[in-house]
Amino acid sequence: MAVIAMRIAVSPVSHARVDAEGLLLSADPAILGLNGRAGGALRQSLAVPSIAMLARLAVRLQVAVQRRVSIADGEQDLELWVRAQPDGHLAISGWSETPAWRAAPNPVPPVVPAGAWGWETDASLRLTYIAPGAGIAGGGEAFTMLGRPLTSLFGFDEGPDGVMPIMDALARRRPLRAQPAKLHPGGAALMLSAEVRVDQMGGFAGLSGIAEPVAMAASPVEGLSDGFTTGLDRALRRPLARIVANADSIQAEADGPIARDYADYAADIATAGRHLLDLVDDLVDLQAIERPDFTPEIEPIDLADVARRAAGLLAVRADHAGVILDRPDQDEHAAGLGDFRRCLQIVVNLIGNAIRYSPQGERVFVTAMMINDRACVTVADHGKGIAEKDQARIFEKFERIDPSEPGGNGLGLFIARRLARAMGGDLTVTSAPGEGALFTLALPIG
C-alpha cells in the first residue's frame, strides 16, 4: 500500500480508457496496478467490478457518470472518486486508504463459576460452541451438537413467576438471567444466563452463555393443579410439536407429491396439534396467574408499540384469512405501566380472536390512544358480535358462546382479563349482535 501512497502523491488523478466491450485499452500506473491486483490486464475486461459497472453505465446511457466507490485492495480498502465518460474515458481521483472491515471480535467470555460451563449460539440460535465440561449424558459428545438449535441442548422451564426469561431476553435483546432449564439428554437441572452478542452493525449476533448445575432439593408436596399442569406441559409439548412439524411437512409435500385428500388430512392433524399446544400454553398460564404470589413485572411500556408488534406477529394469519389488519402508525404512542410480555400476550389473543371471527375481506382495527388517565389498546372487528347477556360470560373460565364453533378453549379471555387486572388495568368489551365487537385493554398511564 505504500506504493499506492507514492503514486497518489505524484498523480492525484489517474486516467484509463476502455472500449465499448469493457476491455481496458490503456491506464495510468495506479489504475493498472489496482486492476492487476484484481486479476486483470490490458486488452482484457476491466477486473475491478465497481469501476467496470460505471464504465458500462456511461456507455449505455451516453452520459457522464460519477460516483464514490469503495474497493477492497489487499489489507486495505480504497475510497475512490470515479468519473466515467460515454467515450470510455475514466478519471479516478481521491485514492484514500481506510483499514479493511473486520468482524467485531467476540465479547470477552464471562467468568465461568466452578462446576458451570459455557455455550454460544449464532444469530439463528444454533449452537456454535459448547464447553468440554458440558456433561452431556448418554455418551453424547459436545461437538455433535454444534450447528443444531439451542433447544436440542436445553429444555426451557418457566421461572417462579410463571415467565420464561429467555422469551423476554430475545424479544428485547437484553441479557438473559435465571432461566431454569433441563439438559438434553439426561434431564439434569440447570440455571442459564447469557449475554447478547452483536455484529458490526449493532444487530443481534447470538448469545454467549453459562450453564450452572442446580442441586435438586426435595420439594414440598405440590397441589394437584400445579403438579398436573407441570406434568402435562412436559409430557405433551415436545411430542405435539413433533406431530405438528411432521404434519406440516406432509401437507407441504416436502418428500414428494401425495394425494390431495392425504395432504388435507395432514393439514387437519397440524391444526388439531396446534390447538392442543395452545391449550397446554393456556393451562400453564392459568396455573401461573392463579398462584397467590403471582405478580407481573410492571415497567413503563408503549402500548402502541405493543399493538404494532402483536399485529406484526399475526400478519400472516390475517393474510391467509383474507382479513386486513389496520395497526397504529409508527409515530403513535400510548405510554402506560405494565408487563411488556403479558401485554403482548393479551393483544395477540384479542387480534387472533378478531381475525377468527371476521368475514373475509373485512378489516380489523387495532388502535392505541390515551383515554382520561389510562393508556389503551382497542381491537375492533366486524364479526357477528356478542349479545349483552354473553358479554360477562366470555371472560369466565372455560366459557365459549358457541362451543360448536372452531376456535379456542375458553381460557384466552379469562387469562387476558386476569392479567390486565393484575397490572392495575382492565379488559372490557363493547358489542351488539351483527355489529362486531370492540375489546379495550386499559392500563395506568406511565
pLDDT in tens, 49-107: 889 888 888 888 888 888 888 887 777 778 888 999 999 999 998 888 776 555 445 45
Rounded CA separation 44/25 (Å): 8
- The mean per-residue pLDDT over the stretch 181-203 comes to 80
The helix, strand and coil proportions of the chain, stated in percent and rounded to the nearest 5, come to 35, 30, 35
Quote the pLDDT of residue 299.
92
Quote the pLDDT of residue 11.
52
Quote the pLDDT of residue 128.
87
Residue with the bigger pLDDT between 199 and 99: it is 199
Same fold, 2-99 and 117-213: yes
**Residue in 109, 54, 118 with CA at minimum distance from that of residue 86:** 54
Quote the pLDDT of residue 403.
60
Residue 326 has pLDDT above 50, yes or no: yes
**Residue in 442, 440, 446 with CA at minimum distance from that of residue 425:** 442
Quote the pLDDT of residue 285.
67
- The mean per-residue pLDDT over the stretch 382-404 comes to 82
Phi/psi of residue 235, each to 5°?
-75, -30
Binning pLDDT at 50, 70 and 90, where does residue 300 land? very high
| Residue owning grid cell 364479526 | 383
Cell of 190: 440447570
- The mean per-residue pLDDT over the stretch 122-148 comes to 72
- The mean per-residue pLDDT over the stretch 183-193 comes to 80
Q: Amino acid identity, residue 59?
A: V
CATH class of the domain comprising 299-444: alpha beta
Rounded CA separation 64/55 (Å): 9
In percent, how much of the chain has pLDDT > 90?
23
CATH class of the domain comprising 117-213: alpha beta
Rounded CA separation 153/151 (Å): 5
Mean pLDDT of the chain: 79
Least confident of 126-140, 192-206, 334-348: 126-140
What pTM was estimated for this model as a whole? Answer: 0.45
Quote the pLDDT of residue 366.
95
Question: Which DSSP category does 197 fall into?
Answer: E
Residues 6+ apart with CB under 8 A from 15: 27, 28, 31, 89, 90, 91, 92
List pLDDT tens digits, range 241-265: 777 777 777 777 767 777 777 777 6
- The mean per-residue pLDDT over the stretch 8-21 comes to 75
Least confident of 92-101, 119-128, 133-142, 156-165: 133-142
On whether the CB atoms of residues 394 and 413 are closer than 8 A, the answer is: yes
List the chain domain ranges: 2-99, 117-213, 224-289, 299-444
Quote the pLDDT of residue 7.
39
CATH code given to domain 2-99: 3.30.450.20
Residue with the bigger pLDDT between 70 and 436: it is 436
Written as one string, the DSSP assignment of 273-342 is HHHHHHHHHHHHHHHHHTSTT-----EEEEHHHHHHHHHHHTHHHHHHHT-EEE---TT---EEEE-HHH
Quote the pLDDT of residue 216.
43
Quote the pLDDT of residue 139.
43
Residue with the bigger pLDDT between 324 and 234: it is 324
On whether the CB atoms of residues 282 and 411 are closer than 8 A, the answer is: yes
Quote the pLDDT of residue 4.
40
